[in-house]
Amino acid sequence: MRHAFFLILLLGAWLGAADQPAADPQPVEVTAGVPAGAGWTKLLVNGSSSAGWVGEPGIWRVEGDVFTGEVVNASNLHHHAYTEAEYSDFELTCETRLVSGKDPNSGICIRMLPEFHPGVGYQVDTGAGYWGCLYEVGSRNKKVAPVSKELELKLVKQGDWNAFYVRAVGHHIQIWLNGTKTVDIDDQPGRLTGRIGFQLAHNRVMAASFRNLYIRPIEVQPKP
């Protein structure tokens, strides 16, 4: 009888756990720019090679493990570099720094179309009033997930490297800036696949750098 009662308790605990929502994912641990765990691919080039990337000529350059974009003549065009490969569901880590310029604005592009102008797709944004938000270039051309000014001022390391961790699973997009979550949205109109890239905003003379860009595919398990 005691064994039967114990089994009933175990079954009840298991059923109760099954009803609980899945634990919210946390940013992966990163040491010296390298994320922990297996399965990561480093996307940024090493040395002087730019293999695996397409960059707008005259804008992008490689300096060691740092990818830098610089605009010396402002125009009404955005400027992009992007991967040759496409990605759907993934997690991503990257460090970015706004190097120079008056009111510089840049970002990490995800699920973007392979084009220099305007670079349709999502952008994990950087720049005053935009840090840590999710922006969509395309039919909406707006912040689909804004970040408060108070949180931005608290998190951003002005003039220094800032670390992003991004998860994109289906329409569910999550962004962490320097270890704090800034975006958690289910955005049904958004693209589900595309390139990873970098952007420099229009109408600015500026430079931005990127390093330690790693990506790991997320295998989505079918629901039972």
DSSP β-ladder status, 180-186 and 172-177: antiparallel
Tell me the fold of 49-217: Jelly Rolls (2.60.120)
Burial of 153 (0-12, 13-18, 19+ CB in 10 A): exposed
pLDDT of residue 157: 97
Per-residue pLDDT tens, the chain, 224 aa: give them. 444 444 443 334 434 444 444 567 888 999 999 999 999 999 986 655 567 899 999 999 988 889 999 999 999 999 999 999 999 999 999 999 999 999 999 999 999 999 999 999 999 999 999 999 999 999 899 999 999 999 999 999 999 999 999 999 999 999 999 999 999 999 999 999 999 999 999 999 999 999 999 999 998 776 66
Which DSSP helix (H) or strand (E) runs through 30?
Answer: strand 30-31
pLDDT of residue 220: 77
pLDDT of residue 224: 62
Q: Where are the domains of the chain?
A: 49-217
- Cβ neighbours of residue 4 closer than 8 Å, sequence gap 6 or more: none
At 18, list the tokens. 């099954």
Distance CA 188, CA 162 (A): 28
At 12, list the tokens. 């009840």
